[in-house]
């Protein structure tokens, strides 16, 4: 682990894994709170590493301290829930039998009101220490999986309690730019996203367009760049170009449900519910393929298109279909307050003949 000012969450994280691993190494990059003292209660090694605006350097230093056959990394605001702790034990037995080079695990980073994950993606989570694989990237660092890859189901849950320094990532990217450090495809993708998050839509659009055109960019990032580019263009009032950006993703692969939902939203907001309904219905036909490694918004594969189809058919004057899709949406999320509100709307606004 690399940590800094994680006092509110670090004990929670370490308690969730302390009996699952042989060794805990915590590398502190400049905490001003009680992070190091908390780490010392659980960790076999608590070390310091001076922060140099380079996450890969810090993670590689932490990995260099590990002595086990496999290196398992977490952030301070991550944890394993009880069901995933049991899955992790099963995974370890599989690893002993199969000896993979890299183990990919789901990373859940957003949740609905019931705690169900709504945004997930796979990350390289356990690495064979003798593989020679290293972290790369000063920001949004990653290890490129190689060798034998095993997919497990022991999810890591991300529970951020404090938003932290929201400008840090952009600050590091702009420092890299000032220093003339070349951006690889991954850096350009995430730089464009950071510009978008900071409301710098024109600059973000330029970066994301440039990234999309790079044939060396990872296909999942290129598809995702179409979504963020579309959001930039919508914010700039360039609706037709925003639709075009989403459609460009189809040149790379079959439609993803997330893209279809984005298209449905654009048409619905434009007052074209029939076109919106087409895209929401298409979203429901798309398979959820999490092992591709891209960002997955789970609601786009069920609840979201269903509840939006309820809206589309209501606006098209078809109460029967609207009620049907509201019921379908509630099958995905029993007790959903939006579905309940829709039922009250149907009762208070009866339609003759339907």
197-230 confidence digits (pLDDT tens): 999 999 999 999 999 999 999 999 999 999 999 9
Q: Which of 132, 158, 184 is the last residue of a domain?
A: 158
Distance CA 252, CA 248 (A): 8
**What gap in Å lies between CA 1 and CA 29, rounded to an integer?**
10
Closest CA to 272 of 264, 284, 261: 264
Q: Could you give the C-alpha distances from 116 to 108, 111, 173, 218, in angstroms and in order?
A: 9, 5, 33, 28
Q: What is the share, in percent, of the chain residues with pLDDT greater than 70?
A: 99
Domain stop point among 120, 136, 158? 158
Does 196 share its domain with 149?
Answer: no
Answer whether 321's CB lies under 8 Å from 295's CB.
Answer: no
Rounded Cα–Cα distance for residues 352 and 240 (Å): 38
Do the beta carbons of residue 176 and residue 93 sit within 8 Å? no
CA 321 from chain center: how many Å?
33
| 219 and 197 Cβ atoms separated by less than 8 Å | no
> What pLDDT, on a 0 to 100 scale, did the predictor assign at position 31?
98
Predicted confidence at residue 260, as pLDDT, reads 99
Asked if residue 189 is part of any domain, the answer here is yes
Residue 29 pLDDT more than 80?
yes
Instruction: Supply angle C-alpha 252, 257, 261, rounded to 5.
Output: 110
Residues 353 and 208 occupy one common structural domain: no
Say yes or no: 330 and 218 in one domain: no
User: Is residue 73 located within the same domain as residue 170?
Assistant: no
pLDDT in tens, 51-65: 999 999 999 999 999
Same domain (yes/no): 49, 138: yes
Give the pLDDT mean for 161-186: 93
The residue-averaged pLDDT of 101-126 equals 97
Place of tokens 């654009």: 266
- Residue where a domain stops, chosen among 158, 176, 193: 158
The tens digit of pLDDT for each residue in 288-328 reads 999 999 999 999 999 999 999 999 999 999 999 999 999 99
Output the pLDDT for position 163.
79
For position 353, what pLDDT does the model report? Answer: 62
Q: Are residues 127 and 170 in the same domain?
A: no
Q: CA 248, 249, 250: angle at the middle one, nearest 5?
A: 90
Q: Does residue 259 lie within any of the structural domains?
A: no
How many other CB atoms are there within 10 angstroms of residue 219's CB atom?
13
Q: How many domains does one find in the chain?
A: 3
Please say if the pLDDT value at position 262 is more than 70. yes
Query: Is residue 191's pLDDT more than 90?
Result: yes
Model pLDDT, residue 351: 83
* pLDDT band per the 50, 70, 90 thresholds, residue 21: very high
Claim to verify: residue 294 and residue 324 sit in the same structural domain: yes
Angle (CA) 210-203-244 rounded to 5° is 55
The average confidence (pLDDT) of the chain is 97
* DSSP code string of 53-80: S-HHHHHHHHHHH--SSEEE---TTEE-
Q: Domain with 201 in it: what CATH number?
A: 1.25.40.10
Residue 165: its pLDDT value, please?
A: 86
Same domain, 117 and 150: yes
Give the pLDDT score at 354. Answer: 58
User: What is the predicted pLDDT for the residue at 118?
Assistant: 96
Q: What is the pLDDT of residue 164?
A: 78
Range of the domain at 346: 273-354
For the record, the structure tokens of 179 come out as 């220093």
**Helical pair 257-269 and 303-315, crossing angle rounded to 10 deg:** 30
Does the structure show a pLDDT above 80 at 158? yes
């Amino acid at each position: 682990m690399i940590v800094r000012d994680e006092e509110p969450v670090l004990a929670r994280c370490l308690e969730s894994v302390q009996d699952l691993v042989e060794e805990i190494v915590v590398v502190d990059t400049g905490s001003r709170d009680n992070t190091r003292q908390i780490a010392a209660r659980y960790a076999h090694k608590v070390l310091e590493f001076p922060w140099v605006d380079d996450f890969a350097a810090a993670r590689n230093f932490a990995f260099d301290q590990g002595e086990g056959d496999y290196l398992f990394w977490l952030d301070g605001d991550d944890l394993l829930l009880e069901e995933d702790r049991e899955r992790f034990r099963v995974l370890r037995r599989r690893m002993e039998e199969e000896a993979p080079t890299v183990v990919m695990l789901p990373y859940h980073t957003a949740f609905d009101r019931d705690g169900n994950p709504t945004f997930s993606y796979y990350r390289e989570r356990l690495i064979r220490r003798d593989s020679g694989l290293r972290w790369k990237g000063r920001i949004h660092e990653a290890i490129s999986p190689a060798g034998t890859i095993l997919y497990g189901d022991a999810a890591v849950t991300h529970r951020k309690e404090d938003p932290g320094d929201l400008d840090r990532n952009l600050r590091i990217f702009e420092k890299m730019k000032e220093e003339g450090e070349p951006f690889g495809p991954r850096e350009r993708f995430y730089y464009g996203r950071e510009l978008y998050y900071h409301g710098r839509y024109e600059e973000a659009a330029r970066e994301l367009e440039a990234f999309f055109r790079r044939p060396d960019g990872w296909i999942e990032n290129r598809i995702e760049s179409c979504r963020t580019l579309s959001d930039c263009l919508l914010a700039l009032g360039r609706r037709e170009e925003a639709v075009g950006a989403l459609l460009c993703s189809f040149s790379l692969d079959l439609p993803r449900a997330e893209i279809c939902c984005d298209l449905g939203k654009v048409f619905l907001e434009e007052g074209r519910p029939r076109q919106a309904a087409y895209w929401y219905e298409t979203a429901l036909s798309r398979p959820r393929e999490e092992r591709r490694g891209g960002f997955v918004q789970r609601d786009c594969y069920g609840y979201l298109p269903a509840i939006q189809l309820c809206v589309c058919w209501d606006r098209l004057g078809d109460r029967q279909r609207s009620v049907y899709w509201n019921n379908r949406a509630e099958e995905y999320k029993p007790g959903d307050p939006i579905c309940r509100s829709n039922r009250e709307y149907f009762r208070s606004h009866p339609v003759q003949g339907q």
